[in-house]
Amino acid sequence: MSTAQREISTEQQVQTFLAEPRKMLINGQWVDSASGKTFQTFNPATGSILAEVAEGDREDINRAVAAARAAFDGGPWRRMTPSERGRAIWKLADLIEQHTEEFALLETLDNGKPLTISRAADVPLAVDLFRYMAGWATKVEGQTIPISVPYTPGAQYLAYTIREPIGVVGQIIPWNFPLLMAAWKLGPALATGCTIVLKPAEQTPLTALKLGELIAEAGIPDGVVNIVPGFGETAGASLAAHPDVDKVAFTGSTEVGRLIVQAAAGNLKKVTLELGGKSPNVVFKDANLERAIPGAASAIFFNHGQCCCAGSRLYVEQSVFDQVTEGIAEQAQKIKVGSGLDPATQMGPLVSDEQLNRVCGYLESGVAEGARTLAGGKKIGDAGYFVEPTVLVDTQPQMKVVREEIFGPVVVATPFKEPEEVLPVANDTIYGLAAGIWTRDIGKAHRLANELRAGTVWINCYNIFDAAMPFGGYKQSGWGREMGKEALELYTEVKAVCANLE
Ligand code: ADP
């Protein structure tokens, strides 16, 4: 099949998917919402309606949790060998890979990001995450523990730990990397043998629903993965509060993270949170500026700045400040902003009208508080949710644009004189998700990496992710970690067993 033919058939498949109201996945069945209600998801490049989607609410969450509970307590999932579970997860990865073009197109239509990026980053990273986690299914091990009980002299014991799946997990994900966030959440939960109710973001439910179509084909039993699209305040809140859910895993804003913690308090379910950020990116004068300038531009402009770890606070050593900021401004001006479907597009629209208004509000506040715009600063056109990549200078530490997460393509740049000055300002934030360092001095780089209060530190690179590398936040950027071995531990309970050997 030629590339052109393949593109036509992908487009037809996606059009067919979009033409029907999308249902929710409960206990292996595609069903309407209990209320019969649907909501609309929009194409952010045009503002037009993309698809109708079943609107989950409390009753749908109740049904999905009941299915997940039954699948956990009595279903075949826990009785399968770890190797069989691993193979099912691997098969899911293969199936996603086989449907790469459909996933990529759906993601671009629903989220707005360039098709080239969906194809090269979002889908392959999701595939790789499932493959990485498939390997872990057979390696969730306990330990044997030598014990020395003082009040039973002479007695011998065998003490060991078992890591068991935590149970029914509620997972609530955002709209910035819809498929990838579903993978980050589902992968470790499946590898450890949990069952799941996943709620995708209301702005971007489509790729998670498409993924749901592959669950049964991968050999994952009914009820293990349930997918309930709907709004945060209704479906999301019901899931976070549900008394029969053992753990809730959330990615989104710090504000909603707090609501999740409160909702989870009812049955003291376990909670992991991956929240906001306002990450510092530090460029020293001894950095390779040919790399640092495009690197710092990409740190903020990748995914339109809609990354929780975006390098949104740029600190540049005084003597190279103008060169670096002007270089980034020049890059910003060259970025081709447009529909994600256009192969020339480097930056698509923001995800929604609401997000556009939020980012524009920050741009206005920055200028009102005295910041100077070196590049960008405005909304683009009237159709779709486009905004210019923006560089702000002459900022002050207390400005809203410096303190608050904008979640858009807006970087604030501040000079520093001495290398020692930068650590306190870099750490001066309620967040602690990520940080970047650009220098040729490896001693300086690692000393600073040690001192930065951030879950990920990139040195001479930025936005490098891997399924094996844990990701998550210090301070108000969250609890726990995604990916890597750390994520698995957070989906297990540890049981200590002690046997008297007499
Ligand atoms: P944003 O403001 O960027 O859309 P949110 O934190 O509001 O980010 O959304 C992330 C996810 O959290 C979405 O799936 C959303 O539906 C969900 N959500 C929003 N509010 C709540 C809530 N009160 N309880 C549970 N989930 C929520």
Q: For residue 64, how far is its CA from the centre of ligand 1 (angstroms)? A: 19
What is the Cα–Cα distance from 13 to 156, expressed in whole angstroms?
A: 65
Q: Which of the residues 55, 107, 274, 482 is marked catalytic?
A: 274
pLDDT the model gives residue 146: 97
Contacts of residue 229, Cβ cutoff 8 Å, sequence gap at least 6: 22, 24, 39, 53, 54, 55, 56, 199, 200, 202, 205, 208, 209, 235
Closest atom, ligand 1, to C-alpha of 253: 6
Q: For residue 232, how far is its CA from the centre of ligand 1 (angstroms)? A: 5
Instruction: Give the CA count within 13 Å in the CB-facing half-sphere of 144.
Output: 4
State the residue for tokens 């001894």.
286
Residue 161 exposed, middle or buried by CB count within 10 Å (0-12, 13-18, 19+): middle
DSSP string, 345-386: -SB---S-HHHHHHHHHHHHHHHHTT-EEEE--SEE-SSS-E
Q: Is the shortest distance between the CB of 208 and ligand 1 below 6 Å?
A: no
What is the Cα–Cα distance from 205 to 212, expressed in whole angstroms?
A: 11
Phi-psi bin for 474: left (phi > 0), alpha (psi -120 to 50), beta? beta
What is the Cα–Cα distance from 266 to 245, expressed in whole angstroms?
A: 11
Measuring from atom 19 of ligand 1, which residue has the nearest CA? 232
Q: For residue 263, how far is its CA from the centre of ligand 1 (angstroms)? A: 13
Contacts of residue 153, Cβ cutoff 8 Å, sequence gap at least 6: none
CB 351 within 8 A of CB 112: yes
Q: Is the shortest distance between the CB of 256 and ligand 1 below 6 Å?
A: yes
Measuring from atom 27 of ligand 1, which residue has the nearest CA? 232
Instruction: Give the CA count within 13 Å in the CB-facing half-sphere of 358.
Output: 14
Contacts of residue 238, Cβ cutoff 8 Å, sequence gap at least 6: 57, 58, 61, 62
Closest atom, ligand 1, to C-alpha of 355: 3
Q: For residue 182, how far is its CA from the centre of ligand 1 (angstroms)? A: 14
Write phi, then psi, for 335 (nearest 5 degrees): -65, 130
For a substitution probing ligand 1, which of 256, 271, 405 has the most ligand atoms within 8 Å of its CB? 256
Closest atom, ligand 1, to C-alpha of 199: 14
DSSP string, 219-252: TPPTTSEEE--B-IIIIIHHHHH-TT-SEEEEES
Residue 274 designated active-site: yes
CB 455 within 8 A of CB 472: yes
What is the Cα–Cα distance from 483 to 186, expressed in whole angstroms?
A: 11
Q: Is the shortest distance between the CB of 240 and ligand 1 below 6 Å?
A: yes
Identify any residues that bridge with 435 across adjacent strands, giving them in sequence order.
457
Q: Is the shortest distance between the CB of 236 and ligand 1 below 6 Å?
A: yes
Q: Is the shortest distance between the CB of 201 and ligand 1 below 6 Å?
A: yes
Instruction: Give the CA count within 13 Å in the CB-facing half-sphere of 93.
Output: 22
Which of these, 95, 176, 88, 69, lies nearest to 133 by C-alpha position?
A: 88
Which tokens go with 326?
A: 């002007």
pLDDT the model gives residue 384: 94
Closest atom, ligand 1, to C-alpha of 240: 25
Q: Is the dihedral of CA 416, 420, 423, 428 positive or negative?
A: negative
What is the Cα–Cα distance from 42 to 46, expressed in whole angstroms?
A: 8
Measuring from atom 16 of ligand 1, which residue has the nearest CA? 232
What is the Cα–Cα distance from 127 to 64, expressed in whole angstroms?
A: 25
Closest atom, ligand 1, to C-alpha of 230: 16
Q: For residue 440, how far is its CA from the centre of ligand 1 (angstroms)? A: 40
Q: Which of the residues 55, 101, 307, 308 is marked catalytic?
A: 308
Residue 493 designated active-site: no
Q: Is the shortest distance between the CB of 190 and ligand 1 below 6 Å?
A: no
pLDDT the model gives residue 7: 66
For a substitution probing ligand 1, which of 42, 58, 172, 354 has the most ligand atoms within 8 Å of its CB? 172
Encode the chain (502 residues) as per-residue pLDDT tens digits.
566 666 679 999 999 999 999 999 999 999 999 999 999 999 999 999 999 999 999 999 999 999 999 999 998 998 899 999 999 999 999 999 999 999 999 999 999 999 999 999 999 999 999 999 999 999 999 999 999 999 999 999 999 999 999 999 999 999 999 999 999 999 999 999 999 999 999 999 999 999 999 999 999 999 999 999 999 999 999 999 999 999 999 999 999 999 999 999 999 999 999 999 999 999 999 999 999 999 999 999 999 999 999 999 999 999 999 999 999 999 999 999 999 999 999 999 999 999 999 999 999 999 999 999 999 999 999 999 999 999 999 999 999 999 999 999 999 999 999 999 999 999 999 999 999 999 999 999 999 999 999 999 999 999 999 999 999 999 999 999 999 999 999 999 999 999 999 9
Which tokens go with 207?
A: 């790729």
Helix (H) or strand (E) holding 214: helix 206-215
Q: Is the shortest distance between the CB of 408 and ligand 1 below 6 Å?
A: no
